[in-house]
Every structure is written in C-alpha cells, then in structure tokens.
Amino acid sequence: MKSVFTIVVTLLAFGAAAQDFKPFKVSTSIGYARPSGAGSAAGFLGSIEPKYGLSDQIDVGFRIEGTLMTRALEVGGNITDTQLKLIGSYVLTGTYIVPTGTEFRPYAGVGAGLFRTGGLSFGDGEVGAEFARKLGTMARVGFKYGHLNVGVEYNHVPSTKYTVNLQNGTPAAAKSLNSYVGVKFGFDIGGGRYE
C-alpha cells in the first residue's frame, strides 16, 4: 500500500511541476501495416490512444489498435496457405517528446500489452480459423507538428504455433508470424499548451 501511495504522490508532483500544458489528450491514427515474413501482404490499421502528460516531455497512454493484413502460413518450413489476419492490441505506452521550442517535436516510446490474433486460412479448397492471445511489445519513433502526429511503430508479437493435418492425414507443425510494422498518420485531440 505504501508503494502505491508513493507512486500517486510522485505522479501528482510531476503534474504540479508542469501546469503550463494540458495533460489530457487522445491520439487517433490510421495507417499502413506491414507484416514480417515472406509471402505476406500489407494491410491497414486504425488506433486510438488516450494519454496523460506527466510533464511536457513525458506521456503515458493506453493504445487500442486494430490491423487487417494478409499473412502466409508456414507448415514444415514451407509457405502453404494464405491467411487473412486481424490483430487487436491493448498496449500500455510511454513516450518521450524531445523539447525543441517549436511546433515540430520528435518523439520515441515503448509499450507492452496484450495482442489478440485471429486468422482465416485459405488453401487446398478448405477454410480454417485460428485465434490466440499473446503478450507483446512495441517501439515507436515519430514527430508531432502542432496536433499532427506522424510515426512508425514496430510491434513484436510472438508467432502463433499450432498443428495442422496434411492431405495424407499426417499432423504437421504450423506457424503464423504476428509481428508487424505500422506507419501511422493522425491527430491529437486535446493536449498542447494553455494559451
């Protein structure tokens, strides 16, 4: 209980030390999602991220993002099927914004959270489905110009592994890579300095 109290007091101290800005904001973004691995095809993403500014340089947030991409399914080391993959993520984030004294401000950040994957496989005249939950991480770089936000994020998500039956009925190990790069364009609603 003492540690929780200490954290709350520390956060309040940060907030009291920097009262010349509006701490609450919501970042909204759309963009391009590029999955890793051979045989994959890019898709799109959308995200929303409520944030609280501990200071004018440090934001903490909670990113909610959805991506839709086409992935290759590897069976026994060979690409066999195409998979339409949806990944929804819920990630706690921390971002450091470089003070420049201008409207242009570069930033870098990290995050960790839950990634929920779902996929539909198409191959050999059959359709299959797979779903999984994975803990993953995220790293980001980008820049803000006023309320405009442009960034690149790498989402590291462990592969989904499972067993499939080959045409002859023999079980085989299969995996679908889940990591992806997101290129995002969006706006911050709220936040900024008080006039």
Band (195; pLDDT cuts 50, 70, 90)? very low
Which range of 116-125, 140-149, 164-173 scores highest in mean pLDDT? It is 140-149
**Residue 15 pLDDT greater than 50, yes or no:** no
The pLDDT of residue 106: 97
- Token output for 108: 């870098």
**Residue 192 pLDDT greater than 90, yes or no:** no
The pLDDT of residue 117: 87
**Other Cβ atoms closer than 10 A to 5:** 9
- Token output for 84: 């339409």
pLDDT tens by residue, 77-107: 676 666 788 899 999 999 999 998 899 999 9
What span, in angstroms and rounded, lies between the C-alpha atoms of 179 and 37? 9
pLDDT tens by residue, 48-64: 999 999 988 999 999 99
**Other Cβ atoms closer than 10 A to 18:** 15
* Residue predicted with more confidence, 8 or 52: 52
CB 38 within 8 A of CB 72: yes
Domains of the chain by start residue, with CATH: 21-190 (2.40.160.20)
